[in-house]
Amino acid sequence: MSVEGSVRDRRRAETVAEIKEAALGQLAEAGPGGMSLRGVARAVGMTVQSLYHYFGSRDALLTALVVDAHNALADAVQAAADATRGRPALERRLATTGAYRHWALANRAAFLLLYGTPVPGFEPPADAVGAAAFRLAGPFLDTTFDGWTREQLAAVPLPPATGPIEDLDGIKIPLPPGALALFIELRAQMHGLVMLELLGHLYPFGEHAELLFQGAMQRSSATLEALRTGQPVFAAR
């Protein structure tokens, strides 16, 4: 690659990053329905026609933001899993769930783009975001079932109300049905607490959100250990 080409590519990457930052700023200020290419172009000091050289439509820009956010969140959680490898299971679970919470609080607009109110008229294309979104499962699988054997995973019961659902199709997460249900339940609890905190709905624990979150994650870890060792603890508690 020529020096001129390298400089041109670097400038383009810088402009793309500036456009994305402006778009996230609009989402933060005006909400999911408040972002427009005209407003983004104005924020970065270019015409809408010039912006089309970087993103052909509003949906293309939003898709790029979604993919970036999924990857950045997965990177943060993966880094926590890697940094605690070989440490006690509780420490690893607190590290990965804590990384999820801290990233959400530090990147509110991006997190809500992924999990908050949908942007009107926008549906992220599955083929573009699927792989990025799925990455988050890896580090959580690593730490949630750290130290478990195949036999212990197979012994996790399904919640009684679910009935026989062993014939699940298209499952990409390599877990038996009971362990998979437990994994999703625990992730939902973690995510729910983060969303409540992010949206200001943790009353009366708002000032103690971090302690509440850590306590809940410790309780989840205790449930996991009880199930792993065969103690009579129901996963939904």
Type of residue at 207 = E
CA–CA separation, 178 vs 52, rounded Å? 48
Choose between 152 and 233: higher pLDDT.
152
- Domain map (residue ranges) of the chain: 1-56, 65-228
CA–CA separation, 69 vs 62, rounded Å? 10
| DSSP state for residue 47 in the 8-state scheme | -
Greatest Cα pair distance in the chain:
67
What's the count of helices (H) and strands (E) in the chain, helices before strands?
Answer: 11, 0
Distances (CA, A) of 227 to 155, 157, 189, 221: 9, 9, 17, 10
Q: Say whether 88 sits in a helix, a strand or coil.
A: coil
106: which 2 tokens? 């530090």
pLDDT digits 0-9 by tens, 165-198: 656 655 678 899 889 999 999 999 999 999 999 9
Mean pLDDT, residues 80-96 taken together: 97
Where do the DSSP E strands lie in 60-140?
Answer: none
CA–CA separation, 67 vs 59, rounded Å? 12
Closest-CA residue to 100 (of 78, 124, 117) = 78
Round the average pLDDT of the chain to a whole number and report it. 90
Q: What angle do CA 60, 66, 67 make, to 5 degrees?
A: 90
Closest-CA residue to 93 (of 101, 84, 102) = 84
Helices 108-115 and 58-83: angle between axes, nearest 10 degrees: 110
| CATH number given to 1-56 | 1.10.10.60
Residue 235 pLDDT exceeds 50: no
Mean pLDDT, residues 36-46 taken together: 94
CATH architecture of the domain covering 65-228: Orthogonal Bundle (1.10)
pLDDT bin (cut points 50, 70, 90) of residue 232 is low
Sign of CA dihedral 135, 141, 143, 146: negative
pLDDT digits 0-9 by tens, 54-85: 999 999 999 999 999 999 999 999 999 999 99
Cβ(158)–Cβ(177) below 8 Å: yes
